[in-house]
Amino acid sequence: NAGVTQTPKFRVLKTGQSMTLLCAQDMNHEYMYWYRQDPGMGLRLIHYSVGEGTTAKGEVPDGYNVSRLKKQNFLLGLESAAPSQTSVYFCATTQGALEQYFGPGTRLTVT
Amino acid sequence: AQSVAQPEDQVNVAEGNPLTVKCTYSVSGNPYLFWYVQYPNRGLQFLLKYITGDNLVKGSYGFEAEFNKSQTSFHLKKPSALVSDSALYFCAVRDLTGGFKTIFGAGTRLFVKA
């Protein structure tokens, strides 16, 4: 039972490159979330999904896109990376209004 | 709008002493409140939550939190701190409208000195 996994763990991109971050969960949770964590700013919600085939914008969605084609996977895409997107990205899942379960994070550097 | 404030960037405490990490919130309606802990290079881990019932909530690793509705606070406490408690702590409130989004505080770094 892996819980929530994220791929990759680390990545360095050049400005303008694209990439996709994968979040996978085996808990059968309906709700999935992508956050970014920057020093002194806590966690900020990028996009979220309330079920397979649905996505919605969070607090800081610009420059990111998401897809939830399968219930267990939630993908975060950067079409044209910018240095401002250097951050640690976390995926989380939950079932309803209860606590969230977090993945280990992806550390992304954009040069 | 819902919000969470953690007024202290850092809390320092000696091992064996009690610790308190402060949190205040602003919500419309009844609050669903949470504490999470983050160790270096790890994701957040759930510690405890308040949904309803007893104002004193007990959680993992000997932590507890006291819900105070009149002061809109949800302070995290532990009677006797351990060096291994040193970590980053986040208070959070659940938005019960559309998507069950969570609003996190900025975090408080706890240092426990041996």
- Render each residue's pLDDT in chain B as its tens digit; 114 residues: 789 999 999 999 999 999 999 999 998 888 899 999 999 989 999 999 999 889 999 999 999 999 999 999 999 999 999 999 999 999 999 887 767 888 999 999 999 999
What is the rounded distance in angstroms from the CA atom of residue B60 to the CA atom of residue A88?
25
Residue where the block lists tokens 């602003």? B26
Which of A48, A90, A100 has its CB closest to that of B99? A48
DSSP state of B4: E
Residue B44: predicted pLDDT: 95
What is the rounded distance in angstroms from the CA atom of residue A46 to the CA atom of residue A61?
5
Whether residue A20 contacts residue A81, with contact meaning beta carbons closer than 8 Å, is answered with no
Q: How many CB pairs under 8 A join A and B?
A: 58
Contact A40 B9 (CB under 8 A): yes
Q: Which amino acid is at A89?
A: Y
* Region of residue A84 (left: phi > 0; alpha: psi -120 to 50; beta: else): alpha
Residue A55: predicted pLDDT: 96
Contact B100 A92 (CB under 8 A): no
Q: What percent of chain A is modeled with pLDDT above 90? A: 91
Residue B101: predicted pLDDT: 85
Whether residue B18 contacts residue B42, with contact meaning beta carbons closer than 8 Å, is answered with no
Q: Look at residues B84, B88, B89 and name the one whose alpha carbon lies nearest to residue B112.
A: B84
Residue B52: predicted pLDDT: 87
What is the rounded distance in angstroms from the CA atom of residue B47 to the CA atom of residue B24?
17
Contact A43 B43 (CB under 8 A): no
| Chain-centroid distance, C-alpha B12 | 16
Residue B2: predicted pLDDT: 83
Side-chain-side CA neighbours of B105 within 13 Å: the count stands at 30
Over range A43-72, report the average pLDDT. Answer: 95
